[in-house]
Every structure is written in C-alpha cells, then in structure tokens.
Amino acid sequence: MKIIERFFRKRKIFILGKTLIARAVANETGAFFFLIHGPEIMSKLPGDSEFNLRKAFEETKNNAPAIIFIDELDVIAPKREKSHGEIEHPVVLQLLTLMDDLQQCSHVIVMAATNRPNSVTPALRRFHHEVGIRIPDAIGRLEILHIHTKNMKLADDVDLIQIGNETHRYVGAD
C-alpha cells in the first residue's frame, strides 16, 4: 500500500476509488485499460460468461501493454460452500486458465477489486499482492466533494465541510 500511496502523492492524484486507482496506473504507464464489471460479464446462458472473459482477455492481449481490471471479483469468483468432490465453477476455472496463460505475456497485468475479500474463492491466490483501500476520512471526503463539484454552481448555503463531516462511511462512488 505504501508504494501505491507514494505513487499517487508524487503525482498529486486523489484516490477516489478502486477503479480510479487502476485507471490511473494504466494512464501513468501508458497501458491499455480494460474494465470488466463482474455482474455484467456474468450470463445466465451456459458458456456465455466464459466466452465474455476469453473475449476480454484476448482484446487486452491484442492491445498490450495493458491492464485488465476486474471489478466486483466476488461476483465472478465467489467462495463456494465446502462440499466433497465439487469442482470450481466453470467461470472461475476459465479465469484461472486465462490468468495462467498470461504468465507468458509480461505486458498484461490483471488487477481486481472486491468490497468483500473474504467472499472470493481461495483458488484465486494467483494474485500476488493484496492492497487494502480504506474508506476516506472527513478530509478525504471533502477532497472528493471538491473534485466532484468543481464545475458545479452550488447554492450559497451548501457547506461542503459539513457534508464531508456528515457522510461517514461514504466513498467517491456514493
């Protein structure tokens, strides 16, 4: 986390959220950025979710250097209940295969995010680093409010400091 914090402080980038961090890393490194939203890639039709993943990884490899960012990883790769003899979900197996295939392609990095890290299958230990991103404090929320409202004409009675103080547990996406 310290490395990422220094990376953003050095470039005066305000951390608004997990997706923004991944986008900023891609932007700073000149890498192609491919965002995968967990709920959107999942399909009720058999094989469609796996196809969607393969397509995303293929497009990213074709545009290397690149970063694949999987948001809401817990939707794609949930921890399953313990049962004997059951294999991982086909989508998880496909993701693991695609990540293994990338070992030979050093110009593509996979990043993922979840609000529920304990809900992700342990099979995804292929991610080498885990970075915790905390909910912003009052000062962080005030910075976020300033960024989101900088091009807005606010009423005279709008007090961003008060709003920042009263929005405990809110993040930039809220």
For residue range 6-43, what is the model confidence (pLDDT) as tens digits? 444 444 444 456 787 888 888 888 999 999 998 888 88
Question: Radius of gyration (Cα) for the chain, nearest Å?
Answer: 19
Reported in sequence order, the residue ranges of 76-144 that DSSP labels E, i.e. its strands, are 108-113
Of 163, 88, 156, the residue nearest 122 (C-alpha): 88
pTM: 0.69
pLDDT for residue 53: 93
Going along the chain from its start, the domains and CATH numbers come out as: 2-133 (3.40.50.300), 135-174 (1.10.8.60)
For residue range 65-116, what is the model confidence (pLDDT) as tens digits? 999 999 988 888 888 765 444 556 888 899 989 988 888 777 898 888 887 8
pLDDT grade, residue 129 (50/70/90)? low
Identify residue 55 by its one-letter amino acid code.
K
Q: Which residues have CB under 8 Å from 45's CB, separation 6+?
A: none
